[in-house]
Structure 1
């Protein structure tokens, strides 16, 4: 898959595309049905399967929704889409100017002239153009005039996508990682840079890597202790992760700390991605550091049982 930053960077060649448009946050099972349909249609029509997505999220731009929480960072979304068999992913900067394109300008200039769309696969409720005043019937009419086909994704499938996204977000906020991962079809991931912490974990015999996630829009699951896995230097490591405030040692700032089992080495300033497998418990304030150490040993034992099981 080739990732193109911006529609203007899409190379104009002789090939034509089958395209779908959306944010595809999470790239979950519902999204994958749409993408599988896109890829199969493209192969049957000798077209290049292409996704047009936007960043920042339109709500961040049009509604100034700074509280929006997404399932993927842009980097994570690209990583997942890359594994699915697409030929092109076009990430277009979403701006107010872009949102003001008329329906005619969007279809003629973007879909047809720039992206060489021969087939557009889109949801029944898709709206586009300035003030979102055009719908799928308008798109079909444009297709008849400008020589491209429109395939409508029916209401049931679109509703499934919407329900899946909502269920994933709610599950993560409730700490139900099993439900979230089932809908995602992969372990929910957190990606960040390892920063130096206070070193308290090392003193307890459980050295931790402090994961700093730069993207404030990334959804962080409910506070608590989780079983995780990561690929570090090409090798898989499991561990346990705490999300929270470390109340036993009077922590005041929320942190994400991972204790990797059997790992030796320096991770400071390195990018690490953790996949979350299970949730063990809530974060607690223990009466003493000794009680915390005893619980961490239990957490490790339970983590290893879940990993081996």
Structure 2
């Protein structure tokens, strides 16, 4: 898959495209049905499968929705889409000026003249153009004039996408990683840079990598202890991760700390990706540090038993 930053950078005129448009946050099972349809349609018609997505999320720009939480960072979304067999991903900067394009300008100048689109696969409820005043019937009319076909994604499939996104977000906020991973069809991931913490885990005999996630829009699951897996120096390692405030030692800032099993090495300032496999328990304030240490031993054994299964 070739990733292109901005529509204006899509300059190859040697082929035509089959396009779908959306934010595709999570790239979950519902999205994958649409993307599989796109890929198959492109192959059957000799076109290049192309996803047009936007960043920042339109709600961040138009509604100043600073509280919006997304399932993927942009980097994670690109990583997942790259694994699906698409030909092109175009990530276009979403701005207020872009949102003011008329429907005609968007279809004629971007989809037809720039992306050389011959097939558009889109949901029945898709709206576009300034003030979102054009719908799929308008798009079909444009296609009749500008020589492209529109494949409509029916209500049932669009509803499944909506339900999946909602269920995934709610599941993660409830700590139900099993449901979230089932709808995603992959283990929910956190990507960040390892920063130095207080070093308390090392003192307890459970050294941790303190994961700092730069993107404040990334949805962090419910506080608690999880079983995780990461690829470190090209080797897979399991571990246990705590999300929370470390109340036993009077922590005041929320942190994400991972204790990797069997790993020896320095991870400071390295970017790592953690896949969340299971949830063990809620975060809890223990009466003493010794009681916390005993619980960490139990958590490790519980994690190892789940990994063995």
TM range (shorter): over 0.9
Cα distance in 1, alignment partners of residues 37 and 172 from structure 2: 28
Show structure 2 runs of 5+ residues with no match.
Answer: none
Structure 1 residue aligned with 2:280: 280
Indicate the SS of the match to 2:14: coil
Structure 2 residue aligned with 1:181: 181
Cα distance in 2, alignment partners of residues 50 and 290 from structure 1: 56
Cα distance in 2, alignment partners of residues 155 and 19 from structure 1: 19
1:241 CA drift (Å): 0.1
Q: How many residues align?
A: 309
Cα distance in 1, alignment partners of residues 146 and 268 from structure 2: 54
Structure 1 residue aligned with 2:240: 240
Cα distance in 2, alignment partners of residues 262 and 216 from structure 1: 31
Cα distance in 2, alignment partners of residues 209 and 129 from structure 1: 46
Structure 1 residue aligned with 2:35: 35
Cα distance in 2, alignment partners of residues 263 and 13 from structure 1: 49
Structure 2 residue aligned with 1:13: 13
Structure 2 residue aligned with 1:295: 295
1:14 CA drift (Å): 1.8
Structure 2 residue aligned with 1:112: 112
Give deviations 1:184-242, integer Å, cap 9, x for gaps: 00000000000000000000000000000000000000000000000011000000000
Cα distance in 2, alignment partners of residues 11 and 26 from structure 1: 28
Moved over 6 A (4+): none
Per the normalisation by structure 1, the TM-score is: 1.00
Indicate the SS of the match to 1:173: helix
1:12 CA drift (Å): 2.9
Cα distance in 2, alignment partners of residues 242 and 293 from structure 1: 14
Structure 1 residue aligned with 2:153: 153
Cα distance in 2, alignment partners of residues 304 and 60 from structure 1: 41
1:13 CA drift (Å): 1.5
Structure 1 residue aligned with 2:167: 167
1:84 CA drift (Å): 0.2
Structure 2 residue aligned with 1:94: 94
Cα distance in 2, alignment partners of residues 98 and 154 from structure 1: 27
CA contact (8 A) 1:12 1:114 kept: no
Show structure 1 runs of 5+ residues with no match.
Answer: none
CA contact (8 A) 1:192 1:214 kept: yes
Cα distance in 2, alignment partners of residues 118 and 132 from structure 1: 22
Cα distance in 1, alignment partners of residues 177 and 83 from structure 2: 22
1:105 CA drift (Å): 0.1
Give deviations 1:46-85, integer Å, cap 9, x for gaps: 0000000000000000000000000000000000000000
Cα distance in 1, alignment partners of residues 183 and 117 from structure 2: 30
Cα distance in 1, alignment partners of residues 212 and 45 from structure 2: 45
Cα distance in 2, alignment partners of residues 189 and 14 from structure 1: 37
